[in-house]
Amino acid sequence: MDPTTHVNWGNTAWMLTATALVLLMTPGLAFFYGGMVRAKNVLAMLMQNFICMGIVSVLWVIDLFSIAFGPDTLGGFIGDAARYFGLHHGADLWSTGNGVPTTIIAAFQITFAIITAALITGAVADRLKFAPFIVFVTAWSILVYAPIAHWVWGGGWLAQHSVEDFAGGTVVHINAGAAGVALTLVLGRRIGWPNERMRPHNVPFVLLGAGLLWFGWLGFNAGSELAADQVAGYALVNTIVATAAAMLGWLVVERIRDGHPTTLGAASGLVAGLVAITPACAFVSPLGAIVVGAAAGVLCALAVSLKFKARIDDSLDVFAVHLIGGVVGALSIGFLGDSAINSAGHDGLFYGGGFLQLGRQAMGVFSVLAYDFVVTFLIAKAIDKVMGLRVSRDVELEGLDINLHAESAYDFGAPATHATTPVVAAARTKVDA
């Protein structure tokens, strides 16, 4: 097959770019989370995010893409694992309907699988062991992420029931949020929580990370059109304006409830907006996107207090921001969906579509939530039984960085710098000899 007759150069160039944009989101997320933990655990937090880039990329190329996006098997549960095994199928991989080589779609989708696994880490900050976490990410990507991606995006049973999720409200955010809560329940609360104060150690990192997320998210949402066209334009502008509205919504709640609008609130609000507009970005109008964003900003800001009532140590509010934000976004399509924006979408309740699409969306939310929560809980319990998922009390109190990675993030003190000399000299001697 001659690729030049099948490749759409404009679409392909955009998808190459969008893939790079989304890949940057995971380092952004690492800093968003890393700034919120205490200084003794910041490297462990960054590492949990970066290692997802390591594990998930390899798994995805070997077979997860095929399981998620291969032709439908098992009644819409997973894709055909043999079809794209190893991404080595010659002519099969030349082009999709949009004229974009399938290899690029596979690469674009790697970045989604990575960040979904990485998002979970925020719920269980400061207490995860490293090797068991790698086993968890592996099992979770195979048993939870790939099947759910197939259900919604790979032509699986939810797609067959017209559940709409443009860029990952169910697949990414409800999925990661529910998994985070399940994992927290298996691991338990941090020592001292909620009485001991666990302030963010570096709020500027949080804002830097949030900024990188917003930047990369333009590729996440507008790239999910898989083409450089009108719908991608709506996804792009909606991703900007819903995020802006959510930041404002969160800050208004803080001003009224706490007295001050905070920088951490601005960062949290904008991420809540990104989450909520993700499923809806190509199905609602820009004014609809403002409504979705503002609703997410307000509701997610109010939801952060629930963990204290439930006494569940969802350390960095994955439930409040990702699960609640994802539900707001997924259901918003049922209210604000407008087929004039995207002919592939359906009209919601406010656009004359009645309750039909809202019902479909609710089914999508519930199915993903229930399957993910149960399977994640079982995976985590099994790994906890065999390997132990949680670090020892001593390690937790002293800090994960020094104990799990033999490093410390910050070296501002002169005594610490000078005290390292003998060990370094000894190591160098060995190398030179």
Residues lying near other proteins in the complex (CB under 8 A) are found at 194, 197, 199-200, 254, 257-260, 262, 264-265, 268, 301, 304-305, 308, 317
Instruction: Count the Cβ atoms, other than its own, within 10 Å of residue 111.
Output: 26
Residue that is written with structure tokens 């997860």 in the block: 64
Answer yes or no: are the C-beta atoms of 173 and 275 closer than 8 Å.
yes
Smallest distance from other proteins to CB 290, Å: 23
Q: Please write down the long-range contacts of 413-418, taking CB distance under 8 Å and 24 or more positions apart.
A: none
Please, what is the minimum distance in Å from the beta carbon of residue 123 to other proteins?
14
Residue 244 — φ and ψ, nearest 5°? Answer: -60, -45
Q: Which is nearer to other proteins, 134 or 264 (CB)?
A: 264
* Residue type at 285 in one-letter notation: S
> Which residue, 306 or 382, has its beta carbon nearer to other proteins?
306
* Residue 406: DSSP 8-state: S
In contact, 219 and 167? CB cutoff 8 Å: no
Q: Min. distance of Cβ 295 from other proteins in angstroms? A: 18
Which H/E stretch holds residue 373? helix 356-386
Contact 292, 242 (CB under 8 A): yes
Q: Which is nearer to other proteins, 301 or 331 (CB)?
A: 301
Nearer to other proteins, 79 or 297 (CB): 297
Q: Which is nearer to other proteins, 2 or 196 (CB)?
A: 196
Q: Which residues pair with 73 in a beta bridge?
A: 78
Residue closer to other proteins, measured from CB, 41 or 268? 268
**Shortest approach of other proteins to residue 266 CB, angstroms?**
11
Q: Minimal distance in Å, beta carbon 316 to other proteins?
A: 9
Least Cα distance to 144 among 377, 380, 376 occurs for 376
